[in-house]
Amino acid sequence: MLQLTGITKTFFPGTVNERRALEDVDLHLAPQDFVTVIGSNGAGKSTLLNVVSGSIRPDEGTVMIDGRDVTRLTDFRRAAAIGRVFQNPSMGTAPHMTIEENLAMAMGRGRRRLLRQAVTKAKRQRFREELTVLEQGLENRLTDWVGLLSGGQRQSLSLLMATLSHPKILLLDEHTAALDPQRAALVNRLTSELVEEHRLTALMVTHNMRQALRTGNRLIMMHAGRIVLDVAGDRKASMEVADLMAEFEKIKDAELSDATLLQ
Ligand SMILES: Nc1ncnc2c1ncn2[C@@H]1O[C@H](COP(=O)(O)OP(=O)(O)O)[C@@H](O)[C@H]1O
Ligand SMILES: [Mg+2]
């Protein structure tokens, strides 16, 4: 479904600010794989998602979606295949448009369209049904400005918007990190429900190791631009946070001994 091969990305190459964000990354996702992504700051997690969405073009390597090479397609040309939710609740929604206008816009995503789509009666009915699932009373607030909603409500709406046009792949970049624990738990539950309902293939970056272990069917850990751990199925299900920490320590130790050998 999604196949990344030999992906390398360096920011500001050849300067003092050179940052190697991804280093020869191979990743193959089967249809309906729900992969959680962990790793320290600067490990390359967001860059990986940006390469999938097309907002960053890799220096080397190929991105295939459903057998089609999309490496050279812009993010706009890939939009129909990809839904995204970011960490900042204000990034996925338009504050000066109403809830129903935001949903209408999301429905037309990836197609040629007028920005403000007419909201028909039939669409309105569908929006009400979809919003009811969020269990936050938003189905009764179709004509309220999105800017009036709380962070949790906006993130729930972003999630709904990202899945409304039936993308193939859902990308979530720490989308619950800015929320309080209760709201984060709610949005996390909604995420799993929507992924299952729409049979999506998903990549979810999270700082929360427990959440990473309990969500999805597969987990990858990134470090210094590489995928250093890839566990799925029973092995993932039986892992605890302490096991993940131990894996991370092993990688750090190996790195240190490499550095010593090179001296
Ligand atoms: N747009 C950018 N311009 C320059 N450097 C970047 C950019 N995006 C990421 N980087 C650098 O690439 C590396 C990986 O960043 P990122 O993918 O954001 O990591 P993560 O999401 O795991 O914290 C970091 O060293 C970061 O500073
Ligand atoms: Mg990031």
Residue 225 identity:
G
Around ion ligand 2, residues with a beta carbon closer than 5 Å are: 45-46
Q: Which ligand is nearest to the CA of 10?
A: 1
Sole residue written with tokens 């009036």: 148
Strands 201-205 and 19-29: unpaired
Q: 157-189: per-residue pLDDT in tens?
A: 999 999 998 899 999 999 999 899 998 999 999
Question: Is the distance from CB of 240 to CB of 217 less than 8 angstroms?
Answer: no
Question: What b/e readout covers 121-151, taking b as 16+ CB neighbours within 10 angstroms?
Answer: eeeeeebeebbeebebebbebbeeebeebeb
* Binding site membership of 9 for ligand 1 (Cβ less than 6 Å): no
Question: Is the distance from CB of 231 to CB of 237 less than 8 angstroms?
Answer: no
**Which H helix or E strand runs over 82?**
strand 82-85
Q: 200-239: per-residue pLDDT in tens?
A: 999 999 999 999 999 999 999 999 999 999 999 999 999 9
Measure the CA–CA gap between 47 and 45, rounded to whole angstroms: 5
User: pLDDT at residue 246 above 90?
Assistant: yes
Ligand 1 pocket test: which of 37, 46, 48, 173 has the largest number of ligand atoms within 8 Å of its C-beta?
A: 46
* Binding site membership of 38 for ligand 1 (Cβ less than 6 Å): no
* Binding site membership of 42 for ligand 1 (Cβ less than 6 Å): yes
Q: Which ligand is nearest to the CA of 47?
A: 1
Please classify residue 93 by burial: count the beta carbons closer than 10 Å to its beta carbon, then call 0-12 exposed, 13-18 middle and 19+ buried: buried
* Residue 162 CA to ligand 2 centre (angstroms): 19
- Of the candidate ranges 43-52, 73-82, 105-114, 133-142, the one whose mean pLDDT is the lowest: 105-114
Whether the full predicted model's pTM is greater than 0.85, yes or no, is yes
Sole residue written with tokens 């338009």: 94
Question: Is the distance from CB of 62 to CB of 5 less than 8 angstroms?
Answer: yes
Q: Which ligand is nearest to the CA of 21?
A: 1
**Listed residue (153, 161, 172, 255) closest to 216, CA to CA:** 172
* Binding site membership of 82 for ligand 1 (Cβ less than 6 Å): no
